[in-house]
Amino acid sequence: MAASAAAVSTRKVMANSKVRVAVLGVNGRGKDHIAGFGNVPEAEVVCLCDPDLRVARKTGDAFEKRFNRKVSLEQDLRKVFERKDIDAVSIAAPNHWHALATIWACQAGKDVYVEKPGSHGIWEGRKMVEAAHKYKRIVQHGVQLRSSEALQEAVAHLRKGTIGKVYMSRGLVFRWRPSIGRKQPSPVPAELDYDLWQGPAQARPFSERHVHYNWHWHWDYGNGDVGNQGIHETDMCMWGLGLDTLPAKITSMGGKFLFDDDKETPEVQTSLYHYPEQQKLIQFEVRHWCTNDEHGASVGNIFYGSEGYLVIYGYDRYAIFMGQKREPGPTHKAGGDHFANFIKAVQSRKTSDQNGPVETAHLASGLAHLGNISYRLQRQLTFDANAEKFIGDSEANQMLKRNYRKPFVVPENV
């Protein structure tokens, strides 16, 4: 794939021409990508791709009704990369496909908007960064908080010392995640290319336990909720604390406490990420069922400083509370358009225009991966952030890179 993709050239995107986009994976989040690019005048969705033709056709019909025009359909993403009429791809496939699809797209001369988490594992996340730089592609990570006007303002407060010395952030993911029950293997639906759906993962029998949405809760395909909703908050933790590297110490614990179902990932999980040199700490919490809010936030972040604390509510609001009496301080609510920001960067060819560059895909996802490795091994881990390897722990290091299934292999040299 790499050799043939690298030989493909795409048309030059001019600053005043529309960016032609293909959306890869249109069953769930991909529908939001279609709507998002549909709201950007400088973009045009021209292709929908999904290994399940039932999903592709259904979404194509809905597209035609909404936009009053037909859109082309593909089943195999490799055919999308070969098309010269496509400038950019928007990846909303399951997590285990994100890195390889991004790398193949870069090799094919396409710019990329990739859904969170950018990677399924730490090693391949670094390869995404290498591919984006080597092929000079715009790769935007789907962390919409970065485009929020209010949250940009919140980070400015953290930088200028509004709440004093900022030493700790908490990430909160308290989402309602019911039991998925138990399902046995079953015949592959006729219109699903299941081999393609599994892609880089090792082959296992088809089951509705993971196709389509519940793959999030299986290690072969997903990363649990810390690697699902949680990536927005892991990214916010690092952004707010001004961290551009992975931590030195990691510990995580939790488990499945309520449901006897097919989920492999934890329903409840607490992770600690320690940066001793920077004197900073990240605490990350996942809860799945009945729970309280934290300072009015069920999904968001809390930053702690020597003079007060700052709360991030969802995607577009913050509030500051000062001193021992928690006196109200500055607050603001305002969103932004992360898809429009990506298109702006595609047209300008300036990574400096991006709010969610490829490095955020690697680091925010990497933080979640480190917590999951600690959870699965049930011990504290020590990490060399420069080498991106665990220190003195061969078992943990084996979990940095998956065993890829040919021909869906992330190459050592991208």
Nearest to 311 by CA among 164, 319, 325: 319
pLDDT digits (tens, 9 = 90+) for 329-370: 999 999 999 999 999 999 999 999 999 999 999 999 999 999
The Cα–Cα gap between 112 and 339 comes to 11
What tens digit of pLDDT does each residue of 229-263 get?
999 999 999 999 999 999 999 999 999 999 999 99
In one letter, which amino acid is 345?
A
Pick the CATH number of 148-180+218-334+366-394 from 3.30.360.10, 3.30.465.10, 3.40.50.800, 3.40.50.300: 3.30.360.10
Q: Where are the alpha helices (DSSP H) in 210-308?
A: 230-241
d(CA 22, CA 10): 13
What is 2-145+339-356's CATH number? 3.40.50.720
Q: What is the pLDDT of residue 3?
A: 40
pLDDT of 290 > 50? The answer is yes
With helix as H, strand as E and coil as C, how does 364-377 read? HHHHHHHHHHHHHH
- Alpha-carbon distance 384 to 389, whole Å? 5
| 8-state DSSP, 355 | S
Tens of pLDDT, residue by residue over 261-279, are 999 999 999 999 999 999 9
pLDDT range class, residue 104, cuts 50, 70, 90: very high
Kind of pairing between the strands at 166-174 and 280-287: parallel
CA distance 262 to 269: 17
pTM, two decimals, is 0.95
Residue 314: CB atoms within 10 Å? 17
Band of pLDDT at residue 16, cut at 50, 70 and 90? low
Mean pLDDT, residues 302-307: 98
| Cα–Cα dist 225/178, whole Å | 13
* Identical topology for domains 2-145+339-356 and 148-180+218-334+366-394: no
Q: Does pLDDT of 281 surpass 60?
A: yes
pLDDT for position 17? 84
Interval 146-171 mean pLDDT:
98
Handedness of CA 125, 127, 129, 135 (dihedral sign): negative
Token pair of 363, please? 């680091």
- What is the structure's pLDDT at 7? 41
Query: What is the pLDDT confidence band of residue 12, given thresholds at 50, 70 and 90?
Result: low
Each residue's pLDDT tens digit, 65-99: 999 999 999 999 999 999 999 999 999 999 999 99
DSSP class of 288: -
Burial class (CB in 10 A: 0-12, 13-18, 19+), 265: buried
Domain range list for the chain: 2-145+339-356, 148-180+218-334+366-394
- Render pLDDT for 111-127 as a digit per residue (tens, 0 to 9): 999 999 999 999 999 99
- 18-42: per-residue pLDDT in tens? 999 999 999 999 999 999 999 999 9
pLDDT of residue 15: 55
Task: Report whether pLDDT(14) > 80.
Answer: no
Burial class of residue 250 in the structure, from the number of CB atoms within 10 Å of its CB (0-12 exposed, 13-18 middle, 19+ buried) = buried
pLDDT at 192 over 90: yes
| Bridging pattern class, strands 166-174 and 299-305 | antiparallel
Please tell me the distance from the alpha carbon of residue 350 to that of residue 352, in angstroms, as a whole number: 5
What tokens appear for 150 in the block?
């209010």
pLDDT band at 109; cut points 50, 70, 90: very high
Question: Mean pLDDT score of the chain, rounded to an integer?
Answer: 95
Q: Is 296 exposed, middle or buried (0-12, 13-18, 19+ CB in 10 A)?
A: exposed
